Amino acid sequence: MTRTSDLSELQSIARTVRRDIIEMIGAAKSGHPGGSLSAVEILVTLYFDVMKHDPANPTWPLRDRFILSKGHAAPVLYSVLAETGYTPKDQLNTLRRIGSIYQGHPDRRYIPALEASTGSLGVGLSLGLGMAEAAKLDKSPSRTYVVLGDGEIQEGQIWEAAMYGGYHKVDNIVAILDNNRIQLDGWVKDIMGVEPLADKWAAFGWHVIEVDGHDFVALQAAFAEAEATKGKPSMLIAHTVKGKGVSFMENNPKYHGVAPTKEEVELALKEIG
Amino acid sequence: MAAKYELKLGAATREAFGKALVELGKENENVVVCDADLSKSTFTHLFKNEFPERFFSCGIAEANMVSIGAGLASSGKIAFVASFSAFVLNKGFEQLRVNVAYSGVPLKVVGTHSGISIGEDGPSQMSVEDLSLACSLAGFTVISPADEPSMFALVKQAAYHPGAVFIRAGRIKVPVIYGPEQKFVIGKGIQLTEGTDLTLISTGLMVAECLRAAEVLESEGLSVRVIDLHTVKPLDRELIAKAAAETGCIVVAEEHLVDSGLGVRVAQVVTETSPCVMEFHGVNDTYAESGLPEEVLVKYKMTGADVAVTARRAFGRKK
């Protein structure tokens, strides 16, 4: 796989990933484009730059772990897994079809390189804490990264996990909050607001870093800061735009879980370039 | 003959679980344990005292504990999570389903204080539906040992079982059924007495009660077979089918809701192999109440004498 810290290369990969997402969901005629597009830079930074992992050896014990706790954003993860060489790229458009390895939500029975099967919200951070604790016990340098949705943190288990991570000083885990401010039924603030985010996580004992979730340089710096932070778990609050990169999807609650039509796919691909 | 079992009181199965954990901890440094502020009750404190660095204190947050256990288990640890059965299964069920069963993670889940024999604490702590819940997790192995030796042996075996396991343990001291030479194999039931007129099948603390029932019934001239199904899932189909064919009459007794526990699962096997007269003895679609454990067990008909009543009725239908 290509590893790169270069801004223009990362931007080019992000374009490819956005195209994959639109094409996959367009072909499937169902899926979640908005929350996939908002997390593109986060996953690209992790998989192409920050995380230590090896697509040729997915069970390498010292690998960093990644959990997409907001499992409905499966398309962005599938694209990144395919672009890094874990899974076949030419099957991406079988998303959500019977027998496809690209199931509706990430399913490790079909993709063993996945650390977790996700899709039911709120459970991924706790699972990641278990992996991080195992790494500590083994004195392994492995770090664990968990991507959460901002709607997802309405789930109570998230706060059980927040309490555990802060109290037990699990400093080898990084939670990334894809703060795109929209959930299925509408704007998060209109469903059940989750602010003040930074204060909440800080109060639970987390080192909070606020970052523009579409700015590669800022993300790289944030992950470096998290790695340098000892004695506390880190929470990256990534401010993002739902549907980022496709004008008619941006900040539009409709595209949380609605696939683009054939015409919309063409329009979107033209915009992404 | 059931009379050969002296049924002297031994330790509670939860205590045997705690002791087995310590042995496991000594022989394998990969063994880790999570608990949710009940370690003195679940007996995981024995492990905590010996191996504090491998004990994860999760606080009163069972859902989080189950997922953390799953994370540890998917990173190669032999991970146990323990709490009262009512809490770990009810509050952790979603996590058991998604992070453990569906994800194929070999977590070991132990529910203590199962059934109604907790006594004084009452129904909020009494798990009368735990076998049902655990059996509905696809791929899970479900174990419900009857006494101290079987619990000790089966916990040790469960640690090395390749899949996810739920183990049901009880609060109160229970009679010892098995001697030191007895072998236990996950998935293999144990026939405790020969018998040709009828079979009593049970699990957990009701196995000793079935032996008591058998002794009474034998004194009335009946030949009674008693079977301990310490593994509720997968069932020992061969042993059940043989009992159905050879005795033509089966009573299943359990400290669990009668319409969703061991009995209905045994009935499925009997129906598919050798249909015969069956009756079911358990908790009848209700929650129990506070009281001394022995009082609660008597009031809710969980004694050998009560099982004998059901058995006579079943045998009467056989003729």
Q: Give me the CATH number covering residue B63.
A: 3.40.50.970
Residue B257 at interface with chain A, using a CB cutoff of 8 Å: no
The confidence score (pLDDT) of residue A23 equals: 98
Residue B290 at interface with chain A, using a CB cutoff of 8 Å: no
| Residues of B with active-site annotation | 62
Give the minimum alpha-carbon distance from B109 to chain A in angstroms, rounded to a whole number.
15
Q: Which residue of B has its CA nearest to A144?
A: B71
Give the minimum alpha-carbon distance from B125 to chain A in angstroms, rounded to a whole number.
21
* Mean pLDDT of the region B219-229: 98
Give the minimum alpha-carbon distance from A68 to chain B in angstroms, rounded to a whole number.
13
Question: How would residue B197 be classed by pLDDT, with cut points 50, 70 and 90?
Answer: very high
Same domain, B194 and B161: no
Asked whether residue B250 is assigned to any structural domain, the reply reads: yes
- The reply to whether residue B71 touches residue A130, judged by beta carbons under 8 angstroms, is yes
Same domain, B163 and B207: no
Chain B interface mutation, best of A118, A133, A169, highest count of B Cβ atoms under 10 Å: A133
Chain B interface mutation, best of A66, A137, A148, highest count of B Cβ atoms under 10 Å: A137
Same domain, B74 and B169: yes
- The reply to whether residue B98 touches residue A119, judged by beta carbons under 8 angstroms, is yes
Same domain, B167 and B220: no
- The reply to whether residue A116 touches residue B73, judged by beta carbons under 8 angstroms, is no
Which CATH number fits the domain A7-272, given the four candidates 3.40.50.970, 3.20.20.70, 3.30.413.10, 3.40.50.11900? 3.40.50.970
Asked whether residue B3 is assigned to any structural domain, the reply reads: no
Say which residue the tokens 């007495």 belong to: B193
Q: Which residue of A has its CA nearest to B58?
A: A164
Same domain, B133 and B229: no
- What is this structure's pTM? 0.96
Give the minimum alpha-carbon distance from A156 to chain B in angstroms, rounded to a whole number.
9
Per-residue pLDDT of chain A (273 residues), as tens digits, is 679 999 999 999 999 999 999 999 999 999 999 999 999 999 999 999 999 999 999 999 999 999 999 999 999 999 999 999 999 999 999 999 999 999 999 999 999 999 999 999 999 999 999 999 999 999 999 999 999 999 999 999 999 999 999 999 999 999 999 999 999 999 999 999 999 999 999 999 999 999 999 999 999 999 999 999 999 999 999 999 999 999 999 999 999 999 999 999 999 999 999
Q: What is the largest CA-CA distance in chain A?
A: 53
- The reply to whether residue B75 touches residue A160, judged by beta carbons under 8 angstroms, is no
Give the minimum alpha-carbon distance from A173 to chain B in angstroms, rounded to a whole number.
12
Q: Are B240 and B212 in contact (CB under 8 A)?
A: no
Same domain, B168 and B38: yes
Chain B residues touching A109 at Cβ < 8 A: 104
Same domain, B188 and B146: no
The strand order across the sheet containing B231-233 reads B55-57, B31-35, B78-84, B108-112, B165-168, B141-143, B231-233
Question: How would residue B3 be classed by pLDDT, with cut points 50, 70 and 90?
Answer: confident
List the single residue in B67, B97, B104 with the smallest CB-CB distance to A127.
B67
The amino acid at residue A259 is: A
Residue A270 at interface with chain B, using a CB cutoff of 8 Å: no
- The reply to whether residue B71 touches residue A126, judged by beta carbons under 8 angstroms, is yes
The confidence score (pLDDT) of residue A167 equals: 98
Q: Are A251 and A199 in contact (CB under 8 A)?
A: no
Asked whether residue B21 is assigned to any structural domain, the reply reads: yes
Q: Are A141 and A64 in contact (CB under 8 A)?
A: no
Residue B91 at interface with chain A, using a CB cutoff of 8 Å: no
Q: Is the pLDDT of residue B1 over 90?
A: no
Indicate the residue among B154, B175, B196 that finishes a domain. Answer: B175
The A residues from 4 to 43 touching B (CB cutoff 8 Å) are: none
Asked whether residue B155 is assigned to any structural domain, the reply reads: yes
List the single residue in B54, B61, B75 with the smallest CB-CB distance to A131.
B75
Number of domains forming the structure of chain B: 2
Question: How would residue B301 be classed by pLDDT, with cut points 50, 70 and 90?
Answer: very high
Q: Are A115 and A65 in contact (CB under 8 A)?
A: yes
Report the distance separating Cα A178 and Cα A259, nearest Å: 20
HSE value, Cβ hemisphere, 13 Å, CA-based, for B65: 30
Q: What is the pLDDT of residues B96-108, one digit of tens each?
A: 999 999 999 999 9
List the single residue in A116, A133, A137 with the smallest CB-CB distance to B68.
A133
Q: Write down the mean pLDDT value for chain B.
A: 97
Question: Which value, in Å, is the radius of gyration of the alpha carbons in chain B?
Answer: 19
**Token code pair at residue A66:** 């990644």
Q: Is the pLDDT of residue B201 over 70?
A: yes
Residues forming beta bridges with residue B202, ordered by sequence position:
B228, B253
What residues contact residue B105 under an 8 Å CB cut-off, 6+ apart?
Answer: B70, B73, B74, B99, B164
Alpha carbon of residue A215 to chain centroid: 15
**Token code pair at residue B25:** 């901890």
Residue B64 at interface with chain A, using a CB cutoff of 8 Å: yes
List the single residue in B53, B68, B103 with the smallest CB-CB distance to A117.
B103
Report the distance separating Cα B117 and Cα A108, nearest Å: 40
Q: Where are the beta strands (DSSP E) in B156-298?
A: 165-168, 173-175, 190-193, 198-202, 224-228, 231-233, 249-257, 277-283
Asked whether residue B4 is assigned to any structural domain, the reply reads: no
The dihedrals phi and psi of B315, each to the nearest 5 degrees, come to -65, -35
Residue A120 at interface with chain B, using a CB cutoff of 8 Å: yes
The amino acid at residue B68 is: I
What residues contact residue B217 under an 8 Å CB cut-off, 6+ apart?
Answer: B198, B224, B308, B311, B312
Q: What is the pLDDT of residues B270-286, one digit of tens each?
A: 999 999 999 999 999 99
Sign of CA dihedral A49, A54, A59, A61: negative
The confidence score (pLDDT) of residue A1 equals: 65
Q: What is the pLDDT of residues B59-117, one digit of tens each?
A: 999 999 999 999 999 999 999 999 999 999 999 999 999 999 999 999 999 999 999 99
Q: Where are the beta strands (DSSP E) in A3-149?
A: 65-68, 144-149
**What is the domain extent for residue B107?**
9-175
List the single residue in B69, B94, B98 with the smallest CB-CB distance to A130.
B69
The confidence score (pLDDT) of residue B215 equals: 98
Report the distance separating Cα A8 and Cα B167, nearest Å: 55
What residues contact residue B89 under an 8 Å CB cut-off, 6+ apart?
Answer: B96, B109, B111, B127, B129, B130, B133, B134, B166
Report the distance separating Cα B262 and Cα B21, nearest Å: 26
- The reply to whether residue A123 touches residue B68, judged by beta carbons under 8 angstroms, is no
**Total beta-carbon pairs less than 8 A apart between chain A and chain B:** 95
Q: Is the pLDDT of residue B119 over 70?
A: yes
Same domain, B145 and B204: no
Q: What is the pLDDT of residues B14-49, one digit of tens each?
A: 999 999 999 999 999 999 999 999 999 999 999 999
